């Protein structure tokens, strides 16, 4: 029996000819990404020895520029660490700022066929790069940084075969909501994405689906590599790599076909995305106080572009705060030069600097009691973005932008023909 993509990457990294579901494997780690939360005083322990400083990437993203004193201290701890070990790949507040998973994409730090660890749960984002990447705990990062290895339990894999192409008002966020609605949680199971539709999907679109896979409670989420991906990586990172394709006789727990043409705009109701989405028409008219477009899943140039298209020449409802957070300074600069930021501002959006911000309820756009928000970020858990009584609906950037215009949840189709 052959292996799935993730089994092949883990086999290679553990030096085994084959790994199978049920195995516990120790693997060599190629890239370790650390971010500001790792350096918070209530979790940070000073590292005395590193396995290899060249493997490290250090990013400040959750609360930047520092929103409070503990965050400022975490940044100080991080800067001292970077200096002590002369770490080159460092993204401080400034021109290289951004959300860690977005920077991993911008700079192709995640190489196909390799292993990347980061203690943020949306690390599966780098699965779009055919990379074995998943969230681990903060102590795992200490282990990987000092010993150069980590462990994984190998789970079974569900394969999603993507076919066809999306219509203009539908995005990969809707595809994710469809998967979460139809199939629910994937605890202890990997997901693998591939199929003929890949060639129709930008790297950004793939990243949205890979990133959101954390919300399926999946283990690893891994995409097949195609020429588009390989060209993207080679243009940004000169390091050698070997992409992994699934064996023809790979064993899957299930193979599910997703026809992109049949997808429609969906909205997840508050508190969870698992088995909890409705077609936008069924929730349309629900009044909102805040609309948010951003995060590691939906702060890409594609996302800002579609939001600008929806609001161009129109006005955000005076009762709604539309907050837009680009995923990185690189994306922000591109959006400025393309006129996207100007369009959004003219319509009444507030543009914030790249940061996690409102996504994690840490700063910038925290919700008050009983408020209603529609978000194109990653999570709608109770209390995630502020007060636990606030209701958080989740949808695509297009649906969020359309809702901001109407002051209530709205179908984006009329703006995107």
Partner 1 sequence: MKITGKVWKFGDNINTDLILPMKIYFLTPQEQTRYVFEANRPGWADEVEAGDIIIGGRNFGMGSSRPAARSLKNLGIGCLLADSINGLFYRNCVNWGFPALEIPGVDAAFDEGDTAEISFDDFGVRNVTTGAHLDGIAMPDQLLKIFKAGGIYPLLEAQGLIAPPA
204 vs 377, beta carbon nearer partner 1:
377
Residues in region 247-306 near ligand SF4 by CB under 6 A: 295-296
Tokens of residue 386, six digits:
């502020």
Contact partner at residue 356 from partner 1, ligand SF4, none, CB < 5 to 8 Å by partner kind? ligand SF4
Instruction: Single out the residue of 81, 143, 193, 292 in contact with partner 1 (rule: CB under 8 A).
Output: 143
Contact partner at residue 40 from partner 1, ligand SF4, none, CB < 5 to 8 Å by partner kind? partner 1
Q: What is the crossing angle of helices 301-311 and 340-347, to 10°?
A: 40
Instruction: Single out the residue of 162, 347, 359, 373 in contact with ligand SF4 (rule: CB under 6 A).
Output: 359
Query: Cβ(298)–Cβ(203) under 8 Å?
Result: no
Query: Cβ(172)–Cβ(193) under 8 Å?
Result: no
Element containing residue 173 per DSSP (H, E): helix 172-183
Instruction: Single out the residue of 125, 244, 272, 377 in contact with partner 1 (rule: CB under 8 A).
Output: 272
Question: Count of CB atoms within 10 A of residue 301's CB?
Answer: 19
189 vs 355, beta carbon nearer ligand SF4:
355
Instruction: Single out the residue of 1, 49, 238, 417 in contact with partner 1 (rule: CB under 8 A).
Output: 49
178 vs 379, beta carbon nearer partner 1:
379
* Residue matched to tokens 């010993």: 147
Q: What are the backbone dihedrals phi and psi of residue 57, each rounded to the nearest 5 degrees, phi first?
A: -130, 130
Beta bridge partner(s), residue 259:
163
Question: Residue 221: helix, strand or coil by DSSP?
Answer: strand
189 vs 399, beta carbon nearer partner 1:
189
Closest CB 123 distance from ligand SF4, rounded Å: 9
Pairing of strands 24-28, 149-153: antiparallel
By CB under 6 A, tell whether 360 contacts ligand SF4: yes
Instruction: Single out the residue of 4, 31, 97, 119 in contact with partner 1 (rule: CB under 8 A).
Output: 119
Closest CB 194 distance from partner 1, rounded Å: 22
By CB under 6 A, tell whether 59 contacts ligand SF4: no
By CB under 8 A, tell whether 148 contacts partner 1: no
* Residue matched to tokens 């590193």: 50
By CB under 6 A, tell whether 122 contacts ligand SF4: yes
Site string for partner 1, 363-402 (x = CB under 8 A): ----------------x-xxxx---x--------------
**CA 412, CA 415: separation in Å to the nearest integer?**
6
CA atoms within 13 A on the CB side of 276: 17
Nearest 5°: CA angle at 124, between 270 and 383?
A: 25
Query: Cβ(105)–Cβ(74) under 8 Å?
Result: no
Contact partner at residue 46 from ligand SF4, partner 1, none, CB < 5 to 8 Å by partner kind? partner 1
Query: Cβ(107)–Cβ(237) under 8 Å?
Result: yes
362 vs 412, beta carbon nearer partner 1:
362
Closest CB 9 distance from partner 1, rounded Å: 16
Q: Residues interacting with ligand SF4, by CB under 6 A?
A: 62, 99, 101, 120, 122, 295-296, 356, 359-360, 377-378
């Amino acid at each position: 029996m052959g292996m799935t993509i993730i089994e092949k990457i883990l086999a290679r990294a553990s030096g085994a000819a084959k790994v199978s579901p049920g195995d516990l494997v120790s693997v060599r780690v190629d890239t370790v990404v650390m971010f500001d939360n790792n350096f918070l005083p209530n979790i940070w322990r000073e590292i005395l020895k590193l396995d290899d400083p060249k493997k490290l990437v250090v990013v400040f993203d959750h609360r930047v520029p520092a929103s409070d004193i503990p965050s400022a201290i975490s940044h100080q701890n991080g800067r001292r660490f970077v200096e002590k070990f002369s770490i080159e790949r460092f993204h401080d507040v400034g021109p290289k700022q951004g959300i860690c998973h977005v920077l991993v994409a911008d700079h192709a730090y995640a190489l196909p066929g390799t292993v990347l660890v980061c203690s943020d749960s949306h690390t599966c984002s780098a699965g779009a790069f055919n990379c074995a990447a998943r969230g681990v705990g903060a102590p795992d990062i200490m282990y990987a940084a000092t010993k150069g290895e980590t462990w994984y339990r190998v789970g079974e894999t569900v394969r999603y075969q993507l076919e066809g192409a999306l219509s203009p008002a539908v995005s990969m966020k809707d595809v994710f909501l469809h998967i979460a609605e139809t199939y629910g949680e994937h605890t202890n199971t990997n997901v693998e994405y591939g199929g003929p539709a890949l060639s129709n999907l930008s790297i950004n679109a793939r990243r949205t689906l890979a990133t959101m896979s954390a919300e399926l409670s999946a283990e690893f989420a891994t995409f097949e590599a195609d020429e588009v991906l390989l060209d993207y990586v080679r243009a940004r990172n000169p390091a050698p790599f070997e992409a992994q394709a699934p064996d023809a006789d790979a064993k899957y727990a299930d193979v599910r076909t997703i026809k992109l043409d049949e997808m429609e705009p969906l909205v997840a109701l508050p508190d969870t995305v698992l088995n909890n989405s409705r077609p936008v028409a069924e929730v349309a008219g629900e009044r909102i106080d805040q609309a948010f477009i951003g995060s590691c899943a939906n702060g890409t140039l594609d996302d800002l572009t579609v939001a600008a298209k929806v609001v161009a020449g129109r006005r955000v409802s005076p009762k709604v705060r539309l907050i837009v957070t680009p995923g990185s300074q690189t994306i922000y600069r591109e959006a400025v030069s393309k006129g996207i930021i100007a369009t959004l501002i003219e319509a009444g959006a507030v543009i914030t600097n790249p940061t996690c911000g409102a996504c994690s309820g840490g700063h910038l756009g925290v919700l008050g009691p009983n408020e209603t928000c529609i978000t194109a970020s990653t999570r709608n858990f109770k209390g995630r973005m502020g007060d636990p009584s606030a209701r958080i609906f989740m949808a695509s950037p297009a649906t969020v932008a359309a809702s901001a215009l109407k002051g209530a949840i709205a179908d984006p189709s009329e703006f995107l023909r």
